[in-house]
Amino acid sequence: MTPLWAFEELLAATGGTASGHFDVTGVAFDSREIGKGDLFLALKGAETDGHLFVDKAFANGAAGAIVSQPVSHPHILVSDTMQALEALGHASRARTKAKIIGVTGSAGKTGTKETLFAALDRCSRGRAHRSVKSYNNHVGVPLSLARMPADCDFGVFEMGMNHAGEMRALSHIVRPEVAIITTIAPAHIEFFRDESGIADAKAEIFEGLIEGGTAILPADNVHYPRLRAAAEQYTNRILSFGFSPDADVRVIDYLNTPHNGTLINAKVCDAMLSFTLSQPGQHWIANSMAVLAAVHAAGGDLASAGLAMAEMGGLSGRGARHDVVVTGGSVHVIDESYNANPASMAATIGQLGLSGGGRRIAVLGSMKELGEKSDHYHRALAFPLAAAKVDFAILVGKEMEILAEELKAGVEGPKEFAHCATAQEALILLQQYLCASDTVLVKGSNSMGLSSIVNALTGGSN
């Protein structure tokens, strides 16, 4: 097997002192993820120290480690292992000839990243790479770069932030040739003065664009002019996407299919494309336009992208759908348990409203990091719940108390609702209520642990 990193490359990138010679086939900082031939990075965090798990990493098959204190295994000794990881990220970016794409936004980052990867992996016949899970922070981004094979044709990296300045640092590591902002919404607004502050922080992604790079912007977003002005400081290659008739990549028309998908006719600059998107919902349709814009900008094949989007399965915690057998039939479960902000809540509740058949049940967990406007955003969920004709709402977490009080006071919304402190309480209540033909949406911030509800219903693990 061709090594991911030859020993000489590791030594040159990190500038450390070696105790022995080793090539590696993978990179990880979690000893539980180590496989045979991998490199273990002993990172020091606020709560633990990776050096405590060096023996376990080698028991799992590690070929070598990067450490900041000597260990009794083959290793490269450096002064700071986090700096060594960043150095590996920079070295990976420097050696690749792949087209590099960065994806950020207040919602839809992971779904867009995964869809774009599927599109580019298909047209390159397996020579695309992307960040896994939600490895989108100061640790996950350089790790994802360090894991990129040298001979890739495309690399797709998710980039997240919740404070100003964080995106700037990530973008200068990734140095994208294509930079996407999916949307701007009040996610992490606790840390910003208003949504314009979020837009400015997301727009820092353009600061790392290589010369001649392309910025891809959401034409339908209220902050589009602000984002465009920011992008124009770094590039004159800008593509807009969405439903707007002025967008460079836009939806011409669309039609829901019988199997929870969408048939879309789109214009991609001067080309036309008809394709089926396996995921339902206008937010997915809009983000599919971002994918097409990026494929076009990166020199990929649009037809292959259309085929890939037709075959995309639902992502765990981000729209995966399950049919669960119950007495008398089945219930349909929509798993949106990984994250939530006001925009994504409204979008997915709206999608629940399009479900046919039996009752509509919404299990909604608190939305976090909304600051002083938290009550306002939670209270405002009554409107989409009413519009979607939700039959029963189970509201989970302290922040959801305000919505429960609103509904109790007679605000238009579900006539049946309950407030629970924990996901476990919500599960018990849901199981008592469920019957055949129900459709259940499970959505909330990841810290609410609503994935446990999905796991309990489906018998799986997210």
User: Given this model, what pLDDT does residue 461 score?
Assistant: 47
Q: What is the CA radius of gyration of the chain?
A: 23
* Tens digits of pLDDT across the chain (462 residues): 789 999 999 999 999 999 989 999 999 999 999 999 999 999 998 888 999 999 999 999 999 999 999 999 999 999 999 999 999 999 999 999 999 999 999 888 989 999 999 999 999 999 999 998 778 899 999 999 999 999 999 999 999 988 889 999 999 999 999 999 999 987 666 777 788 999 999 999 999 999 999 999 999 999 999 999 999 999 999 999 999 999 999 999 999 887 778 999 999 999 999 999 988 888 899 999 999 999 999 999 999 999 999 988 777 777 788 899 988 899 999 999 988 889 889 989 998 998 877 899 999 999 998 888 899 999 999 999 999 999 999 999 999 999 999 999 989 989 899 999 999 999 999 999 999 999 999 999 989 999 999 999 998 644
Q: Give the C-alpha separation, 119 to 334, whole Å.
A: 24
DSSP for 211-272? TT-EEEEETTSTTHHHHHHHHTTT-SEEEEEES-TT-SEEEEEEEE-TTS-EEEEEEETTEE
Q: Give the C-alpha separation, 215 to 236, whole Å.
A: 9
Q: Give the C-alpha separation, 226 to 194, whole Å.
A: 13
The secondary structure element, H or E, covering residue 394 is strand 392-396
The secondary structure element, H or E, covering residue 200 is helix 195-202
DSSP 8-state assignment for residue 318: B
The secondary structure element, H or E, covering residue 28 is strand 26-28
Burial of 379 (0-12, 13-18, 19+ CB in 10 A): middle
The secondary structure element, H or E, covering residue 12 is helix 7-14
State whether residue 331 is helix, strand or coil. Answer: strand
**Closest residue by Cα to residue 317 from 361, 346, 348, 354:** 348
49: β partners? 44
Q: Residue 87: phi, psi to the nearest 5? A: -65, -40
- Which long-range contacts does 222-225 make (Cβ < 8 Å, 24+ apart)? 222/184, 222/195, 223/184, 223/195, 223/196, 223/199
Three-state SS sequence of 62-127: CCEEEECCCCCCCEEECCCHHHHHHHHHHHHHHHCCCEEEEEECCCCHHHHHHHHHHHHHHHCCCC
Domains of the chain (ranges; CATH) run 7-84 (3.40.1390.10), 96-311 (3.40.1190.10), 320-458 (3.90.190.20)
Q: Give the C-alpha separation, 120 to 98, whole Å.
A: 11
Q: Give the C-alpha separation, 264 to 320, whole Å.
A: 20
State whether residue 416 is helix, strand or coil. Answer: strand
Residues 412-421, buried b or exposed e (16+ Cβ, 10 A)? ebbeebbbbe
CA 412 to each of CA 380, 383, 385, 401, 427: distance values in angstroms, whole numbers, following the listed order = 11, 7, 9, 16, 25
DSSP for 137-177? STTHHHHHHHTS-TT-SEEEEE---SSTTHHHHHHHHH--S
67: β partners? 77
pTM (two decimals): 0.82
The two structure tokens encoding residue 283: 């937010």
How distant is the alpha carbon of residue 162 from its chain centre?
14
Q: Give the C-alpha separation, 235 to 216, whole Å.
A: 11
The two structure tokens encoding residue 338: 């990984």
